[in-house]
Structure 1
Amino acid sequence: MPKLLPVFRIIALLEGVSYILLLFIASPLKWFYNDPTYVGWLGMPHGILFMAYVVIAIFISSDMKWPTRTLWVVLLASVIPFGTFYIDKKYLTKSRRA
């Protein structure tokens, strides 16, 4: 098991939650009520989490022996709502059992 896997799982969870909050709470508040406050609060943390997710995914891909296609799926999941939760279930938890 790669040393960064537990960190990656936490980053994936936080990135997924921040993305959901940004898409479904902060952005509607910004556009429907003209209140950009929450986008400002969530935007920077989400951006940092997104970059950390991508960098760590690339680092652990060789340790996890992911084919290139799997790495692309993991990276693509970061821009799909609820995608990081799917990745955790499909690719990251089964590696703990092995």
Structure 2
Amino acid sequence: MEGAVTRYRILALVVGTLLVLLTIGMVLKYGPTDMPELAGITAPIHGFLYMVYLAAAYDLWRRTGWPLSKMVLIVLGGIVPLMTFFVERRIVQDARALGGANAEASA
């Protein structure tokens, strides 16, 4: 399960960073500066990686057996700016705690 946690963590940090850049790019695009370049570059990359992030999040959710509400929190983490970083930290802590409990139970 540690591989699923690592994949999720890397993708969450990358998607979260791209979402912050995309938010800045949208402000630059629709604000008084009229600079659409940053949004034009980051939007498709964020969109593609968000789909990969969802697949990694689903894999982690399926392996842990968490309730659907936790999956909803993970999904929202990728579309609300800055929320990704807080959700990622909590999910990784919970997954590692669950993995440690499972390892102790099987030993």
Q: Following TM superposition, by how much is the alpha carbon of 1:94 offset from its aligned partner in structure 2, in angstroms?
A: 3.8
Q: Following TM superposition, by how much is the alpha carbon of 1:2 offset from its aligned partner in structure 2, in angstroms?
A: 4.5
**Length-normalised TM-score, structure 1:** 0.87
Taking the aligned partners of 2:88 and 2:95, their CA distance within structure 1 comes to 10
Taking the aligned partners of 1:16 and 1:58, their CA distance within structure 2 comes to 17
1:4–1:60 Cα contact (<8 Å) kept: yes
User: How big is each residue's C-alpha offset from its partner over 1:27-79, in whole Å with a ceiling of 9 and x where there is no partner?
Assistant: 12111211111111111111111111112111221112211111111112221
Q: How many residues in Structure 1 have an aligned counterpart in Structure 2?
A: 97
* Higher-Rg member (1/2): 2
1:51-66 to structure 2, matched below 5 A, reads 51-66=51-66
Q: Following TM superposition, by how much is the alpha carbon of 1:21 offset from its aligned partner in structure 2, in angstroms?
A: 1.0
Q: Which runs of 5+ in 2 are unaligned?
A: 101-107
Q: Which runs of 5+ in 1 are unaligned?
A: none
**Length-normalised TM-score, structure 2:** 0.80
1:2–1:60 Cα contact (<8 Å) kept: no
Taking the aligned partners of 1:92 and 1:65, their CA distance within structure 2 comes to 14
Are 2:90 and 1:90 aligned?
A: yes
Q: Following TM superposition, by how much is the alpha carbon of 1:96 offset from its aligned partner in structure 2, in angstroms?
A: 2.8
Taking the aligned partners of 2:52 and 2:34, their CA distance within structure 1 comes to 30
1:2-41 to structure 2, matched below 5 A, reads 2-23=2-23, 25-31=24-30, 32-41=32-41
Runs of 4+ in 1 over 3 A off after TM superposition: none
1:66-77 to structure 2, matched below 5 A, reads 66-77=66-77
